[in-house]
Structure 1
Amino acid sequence: MIELDGATGEGGGQVLRTALTLSMITGQPFRIVNIRANRPKPGLMRQHLVAVQAAAGISNADIGSAAVGAQTLQFTPGKIKGGAYQFAIGTAGSCTLVLQTLLPALLYADAPSVVKITGGTHNAMAPPAHFLQRAYGRVLAAMGADLEIELKRFGFYPAGGGEIEAKVSPCRQLQPLELMSRGERVAGYAESFIAGVPADVAKRELACVKTAMGWDDAQLAIRGLPHDQGPGNALLVTLESQHVTEVFCAFGEKMVRSEVVAKKAISQVRQYIASGAAVGEHLADQIMLPLALAGSGRFTVDCVSQHALTNAEVIEQFLPVRITFAEQGLSSVCEIATK
């Protein structure tokens, strides 16, 4: 039984999600205490409970009496089974974080899988669905994974109601990958998604991006959505490079000017570009786990977050790897190697 303290390091839900994924794949049970101890509302929120239940569903795991608010959990996995699955968060809690818990594990299933998750698809503190499709999905594909992620319906905070579907084929062994440079820029574009929000909001956001990036109108798009998928607004900036795709986002909020929202996304883009790194802060967090499953990998990252350091600690408790970070100019190098 692997013992984990959820208050370690960053102290958020990533400790739990990474443990669930790796417990399913390795067959090692774990016990975690102080779940999300460093959050304003500690314990399992609805999206975290669904991640636990979903992981139990695909691996026939024993989870005891897990419930919203619980700060301890014991998870004993069985065999990962492919098939058709559907999970409902019931709030605007993140579909993408639940899906990210399941995706690597389903690569080790005995048959192909189709997973549908309903809840939030575009909200703060979680990667948007487009990030999984364009950035995370591209890395997994480069490592040999065969998966397809489809956004069926947007779900903004606080209403939720979104739906995301993933089709995953088993993969015997993920291949190691090095992403030391992003390569030449292939494409760059910005999209402002709006549902039940005035078009002027999107126009102002995109005008800021146009000025900051020196882009032309062909690289800017207003994506109007049906009113019943809102209210909501998400600004996405996508940079496609030779070796990697990055997606940066900011979300509209009540009483927050469009220009302020745009500046949040632009500042992330500028930091990434200036660093010269292959991957950004959030993608770095999420590709460590598949690289560790592959046994090795290296990449440059613009910023090493406490989130990433904590994630590395958890991964090292389940897999025989060592994850190190070393500063290199304006970026850092993350290296994953077999112990």
Structure 2
Amino acid sequence: MGGLSPIVIDGSYGEGGGQILRYAAALAAVVGEEVRVVNIRSKRPNPGLRPQHIGGLKILHQVCGGTVEGLRVGSMEVTMRFGRPKPGEYFYDVGTAGSVTLVMQTLLPALAYHGGEYEVTIVGGTDVKWSPTTDYFRHVVLHNLRLVGVEAELEVVKRGYYPRGGGRVVLRVRDGKLRSSSFSRAEVARTEVVSVASNLPAHVAERQARAIIEGLRREGVSEVERRVERLGPDRAFGPGSSVLVYSETRENVRCGGDSIGEKGKPAERVGQEALEKYLEWYRSSAALDTFMSDMIIPFLFIAEGHSSYTAPKMTLHMDSALYVASRITGRSYRVSEAPTRPRR
């Protein structure tokens, strides 16, 4: 790190989506240097920034100060230099059903790295397409990030779904100390299914959970905790559903899979989609699931020391995250094929 010229990130690298901009902004706020992202989403049918990509940068700018140029719909280039985040309470409305978990992905690395106490209220979509559900984020992502020193918790005040959004979450971050970690696969200690249906019949959540539990039994997993909730208008804005299945290992690591309901999609298929994501990890010998393997990368690059983990497979999202983190932090990495071992 260091130098007068901006760090340039090619937004068309790898999967070439909004993730590159989110991770570039998150790490720019850590290093405090000028970062320029070019060719933003240039491979997509509607290239450039879309409204859902702007929210995370706006709240990051609100918390950290500094300068952000090119932050408008359709922009192919953004230049940013953030200041140090100021502890305190913040509020941000993503608008309609923009994902609150993607906003938190952008915000959390800088808050964890610089320290201090924060309470950030975010309004938007809590369980929407192309993003982690709030249940996956709080039960899997934040749990695993505590293992590398991130002290954060998430309160889901109200669920919000596509297309109206209106959900509300509160992210609380406390002083912590980021540390390196080497994750290894360990025996499963417990497995839980969390199924939620909002402003829908109770049987929707039941059927989502049942599809997963029946599938787990076919895999030889008979002991499964279940949490099934039906939420009314006081706890959810509009109709929608989500489901999560995760396991916690003897090493206190959590891995799982999630899915959301959509109009016309049977509840059983929602459960099956989450189960398939989970089984990709469960049937492998990997330490982390595919999605956690992507989301943990920025934190490991800004923690001192050597970190390592195994993933079920290499993805374009992981490749893009490694590219961005290496360019901005100046740290190196190595990816190799792990020997196949029987899962435990």
Q: What amino acid maps onto 1:150 in structure 2?
A: E
Of 288, 307, 322, the residue aligned with 2:332 is 322
Partner of 1:178, secondary structure, is coil
d(CA) in 2 for partners of 1:257, 1:312: 36
Deviations 1:97-119 (A, max 9, x none): 11111111012346321111110
Q: 1:110 to 1:245 in 2, by over 3 A?
A: closer
* 5+ long unaligned stretches in structure 2: 1-5
Contact (CA 8 Å) 1:134, 1:246: kept in 2 or not? Answer: no
Quote the residue 2:279 is aligned against: 270
Residue of structure 2 equivalent to 1:112: 117
Secondary structure at 1:210 match in 2:
helix
The answer on 1:209 being equivalent to 2:212 is: yes
Q: CA RMSD in A?
A: 1.9
- Of 228, 243, 253, the residue aligned with 1:222 is 228
1:12 aligns with 2:17: yes
Q: Equivalent of 2:242, from 234, 237, 251?
A: 234
Change in Cα spacing, 1:170 to 1:203, as seen in structure 2 (3 Å) is: closer
Residue identity opposite 2:272 in structure 1: K
Structure 2 vs 1, CA of residues 250 and 40 (structure 1 numbering), >3 Å: closer, same or farther? Answer: farther
- Could you report, residue by residue, the CA deviation over 1:173-201 in whole angstroms, capped at 9, with x for unpaired residues? 411101021x2222112122101222232
Report the 3-state secondary structure (helix = DSSP H, G, I; strand = E; otherwise coil) of the residue aligned with 2:319: helix
Match of 2:200 in 1: 197
Cα contact 1:10–1:306 (8 A) shared by 2: yes
Q: Which residue of 1 aligns with 2:257?
A: 248
**Paired position in structure 1 for 2:179:** 175
- 2:319 is matched with 309
In 2, Cα distance between the equivalents of 1:40 and 1:200? 39
- Kindly indicate whether the alpha-carbon contact (under 8 Å) linking 1:113 and 1:168 is maintained by their aligned counterparts in 2: yes
| Equivalent residue pairs, number | 329
Separation in 2, partners of 1:128, 1:265: 11
Residue of structure 1 in register with 2:303 after alignment: 294
Residue equivalent to 2:3: none
The answer to whether 1:281 aligns with 2:290 is yes
Amino acid at match of 1:127: P
Q: Secondary structure at the match of 2:21?
A: helix
Range with bigger deviation, 205-214 or 4-13: 205-214
Q: What is the Cα deviation at residue 216 of structure 1?
A: 6.0
| Residue-by-residue CA offset, 1:123-173 (whole Å, 9 max, x unaligned) | 1211111222122212221222322221111112222111111121233x4
The CA deviation at 1:44 is 1.9
Map of 1:152 onto structure 2: 157
Q: Identify unmatched segments of 5+ residues in structure 1.
A: 332-339
Determine the structure 2 residue equivalent to 1:3: 8
Matches within 5 A, 1:62-101: 62-101=67-106
- Confirm or deny: 8 A CA contact 2:205 2:228 kept in the other structure: yes
Indicate conservation of the 8 Å contact 1:116/1:163, yes or no.
yes
1:75 maps to a residue whose letter is M
Moved more, 11-20 or 248-257: 248-257
Alpha-carbon offset, residue 229 of structure 1? 2.5
For residues 101 and 93 of structure 2, the distance between their equivalents in structure 1, rounded to whole angstroms, comes to 12
Q: CA deviation at 1:224?
A: 0.5
Task: Tell me: CA distance 1:260–1:132, structure 2 relative to 1, closer, same or farther (3 Å).
Answer: closer
